[in-house]
């Protein structure tokens, strides 16, 4: 039988194979870190149709049939609605795109949302006024459930669909559908990979114990002012007792960006590149200050890459709601590592899990990223509080990118 032969470490957890199998031979399972992976559990029912292999975005034989395209320009985007920017991780691009799709008629919008117990699942909403749970970055693996099948059913009925997800999920959906649809808009993001859900939940449990109350809500990215500068990389906790807590450079997020607990498949992701399979790619426009001193990433500036003609069409449609500026494509590469390639493996993951045996998640992360006290580290710490124009000048003198 030539059923899917990807190993657990190479599985991205998109669950396309689970959804496409006609005899339900494949199940979605979870490993010890809470990560989803697919497994053939009923081999006796397999009819060797090989549909599972055809829809797997991690196999070269299937992903080779996808068309990879690069955007012509890098576009900075800030929503003109200040409240939407405040409620977004970045500049509010997703809200504007969803609004544009909804203007074209009845639509169904798919995206990742927190469910009970801080699980992340792909859900569908049927109106722009319901997209709140889909907004903001989650950074944890999302369970697509039966969303691919739902998308196909809506499209066959002639409905309009916006599907947002990781690049591998977008690739999997395209392979699952096996054809293009005029009424389907695919949106991915510059993905750093996904974190292990078990580590995330453990971190929240430990924070609840530390502050004497269970964590009810958590936001990976919250906007806050820090003296003369702004930050959009502060995490916000809301506890059961009603108290809230904001942490700049939250330990869990710091460990995430350093790949201490990312899914193994993310280290060899074939979609971490400038060329994309989606219509639109969203990201933070890190380093925008270096090309436009009047903008500041800390306040929330989205990067939009319109990869297809359909994507460029919707870029025009959102111009009434967004402050847009075009730049050469290369301007976005320095601040967006996932557009240059996947984050390479190193020994950090093993060191984290070794430390986490006897420490909390926060302490284990801090023990690995703690910098030695030096004049340089002190200067960099002070610069975080300076006005952006002063930071830009200092970094230019040092010949470095402003982050």
The pLDDT value recorded for residue 1 is 38
Rounded Cα distance, 252 and 195, in Å: 10
CA 187 to the chain's CA centroid:
11
- Mode of pairing for the β-strands spanning 107-114 and 120-125: antiparallel
Q: Where are the extended beta strands (E) located within 173-277?
A: 184-189, 215-226, 229-239, 244-248
Q: How much is the pTM?
A: 0.90
Q: What are 78-99's pLDDT values in tens digits?
A: 999 999 998 888 999 999 999 9
What's the average model confidence in pLDDT over 298-325?
A: 95
Domains in the chain and their CATH numbers? 8-54 (3.30.70.20), 73-195+263-339 (3.40.640), 197-261+347-370 (no CATH), 378-403 (no CATH)
* pLDDT confidence of residue 2: 46
pLDDT tens digit string along 56-77? 999 988 888 999 999 999 999 9
Q: For position 377, what pLDDT does the model report? A: 57
Q: Which residue has the higher pLDDT, 109 or 385?
A: 109
Q: Could you report the per-residue pLDDT of 139-172, keeping only the tens digit for each? A: 999 999 999 999 999 999 999 999 999 999 999 9
Burial 336-352 (b: 16+ CB within 10 A, else e): bebbeebbeeeebbeeb
Taking the CA of residue 84 as centre, how many other CA atoms within 13 Å lie in the half-sphere pointing to its CB? 22
The whole-chain average pLDDT of the chain stands at 89
Question: In the prediction, which pLDDT does 279 show?
Answer: 98
d(CA 197, CA 118): 9
Could you tell me what percent of the chain has a pLDDT over 70? 88
User: In whole angstroms, what is the distance from residue 389 CA to residue 289 CA?
Assistant: 8
Q: Which of 135-139, 239-243, 321-325 has the lowest mean pLDDT?
A: 135-139
Phi and psi, residue 381, nearest 5°: -65, -45
User: 390 falls in which pLDDT band (50, 70, 90)?
Assistant: low
């Amino acid at each position: 039988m030539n059923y899917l032969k990807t190993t657990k470490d190479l599985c991205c957890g998109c669950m396309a194979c689970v959804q496409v199998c006609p005899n339900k031979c494949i199940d979605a399972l979870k490993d010890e870190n809470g990560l989803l992976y697919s497994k053939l559990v009923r081999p006796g029912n397999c009819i060797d149709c090989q549909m599972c292999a055809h829809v797997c975005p991690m196999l070269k034989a299937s992903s080779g049939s996808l068309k990879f395209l690069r955007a012509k320009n890098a576009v900075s985007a800030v929503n003109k609605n200040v409240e939407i920017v405040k409620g977004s991780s970045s500049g509010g691009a997703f809200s504007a795109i969803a609004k544009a799709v909804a203007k074209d008629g009845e639509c169904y919008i798919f995206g990742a949302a927190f469910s009970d117990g801080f699980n992340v699942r792909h859900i569908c909403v049927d109106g722009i006024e319901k997209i709140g749970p889909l907004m903001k970055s989650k950074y944890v693996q999302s369970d697509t459930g039966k969303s691919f099948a739902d998308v196909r059913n809506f499209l066959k009925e002639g409905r309009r669909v916006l599907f947002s997800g990781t690049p591998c999920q977008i690739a999997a959906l395209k392979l699952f559908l096996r054809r293009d649809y005029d009424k389907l808009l695919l949106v991915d993001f510059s993905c750093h990979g996904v974190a292990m859900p078990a580590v995330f939940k453990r971190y929240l449990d430990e924070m609840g114990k530390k502050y004497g109350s269970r964590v009810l809500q958590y936001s990976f990215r919250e906007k806050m002012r820090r003296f003369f500068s702004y930050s959009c990389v502060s995490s916000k906790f809301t506890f059961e007792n009603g108290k809230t807590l904001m942490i700049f450079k939250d330990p869990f997020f710091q460990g995430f960006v350093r790949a201490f607990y990312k899914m193994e498949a993310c280290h060899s992701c074939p979609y971490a590149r400038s060329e994309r399979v989606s219509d639109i790619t969203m990201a933070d426009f890190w380093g925008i200050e270096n090309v436009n001193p009047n903008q500041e990433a800390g306040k929330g500036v989205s990067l939009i890459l319109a990869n297809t003609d359909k994507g460029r069409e919707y870029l025009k449609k959102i111009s009434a709601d967004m402050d847009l500026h075009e730049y050469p494509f290369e301007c976005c590469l320095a601040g967006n590592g996932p557009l240059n390639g996947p984050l390479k493996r190193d020994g950090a993951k093993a060191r984290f899990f070794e430390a986490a045996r006897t420490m909390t998640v926060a302490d284990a992360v801090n023990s690995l990223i703690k910098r030695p006290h030096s004049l340089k580290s002190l200067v960099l710490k002070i610069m975080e509080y300076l006005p952006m124009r002063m930071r830009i000048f200092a970094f230019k003198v040092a010949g470095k990118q402003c982050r």
